[in-house]
Amino acid sequence: MATTNWDEQIKHADGIAGERREDRRYDLRLDLRWKLIRRRRILETGTGSTVDFSSGGILFETDRPMPAGLNVELSVSWPVRLHNVAQLQLVVSGRIVRSQGALTAIQIIQHEFRTVGVPADRRNAPSGAPRPALDFFSRQSAANGSR
């Protein structure tokens, strides 16, 4: 009776019909806003959330099917703040490669992080370090008897 090497058969099957993506995918649920774009014009906008993403693409969920082949811009709410102050968003431009029901997959063409804004209560927060230029001018004014 011949023995079967199941590990080799599973690897072979995965290579043919299984996971073929090159980039590692991360399962993260993040809120997003999307803009459907055609010829530099915004056709529609909406909201949704990511299902998973990698450096090459994003799978997201929205309330309606999206047309494959069109360009889309996603603004994803990033879970980490810049210097623990400014909220970030990942802005991605891509092409819709497939859509099935509420799920849409895009191939990333371009991406960048943008700041959303600094909360008003954190805008003028002291840095804790003295500013040498202000100290210099303060001493000069005192030395010259200026008011």
CATH of the domain at 49: 2.40.10.220
Into how many domains does the chain fold? Answer: 1
Tens of pLDDT, residues 47-81: 999 999 998 999 999 999 999 999 999 999 999 99
Instruction: Express as a percent the part of the chain with pLDDT over 70.
Output: 64
Residue 124 confidence (pLDDT)? 59
What is the full DSSP assignment across 65-112? ---TTSEEEEEEEEEEEETTTEEEEEEEEEEEEEEETTEEEEEEEEEE
* Residue 50 domain-assigned (yes or no): yes
* Residue 129 domain-assigned (yes or no): no
CA dist list (Å): 51 to 17, 27, 28, 60, 143: 22, 6, 6, 5, 64
* Residue 126 domain-assigned (yes or no): no
Element (H, E) at 13: helix 6-16
* Residue 144 domain-assigned (yes or no): no
* Residue 60 domain-assigned (yes or no): yes
pTM attached to this predicted model: 0.66
Partners of 60 in beta bridges: 50, 104
* Residue 74 domain-assigned (yes or no): yes
* Residue 139 domain-assigned (yes or no): no
* Residue 36 domain-assigned (yes or no): yes
* CB contact set of 100 (below 8 Å; sequence gap of 6+): 65
Domain span at residue 80 reads 22-111
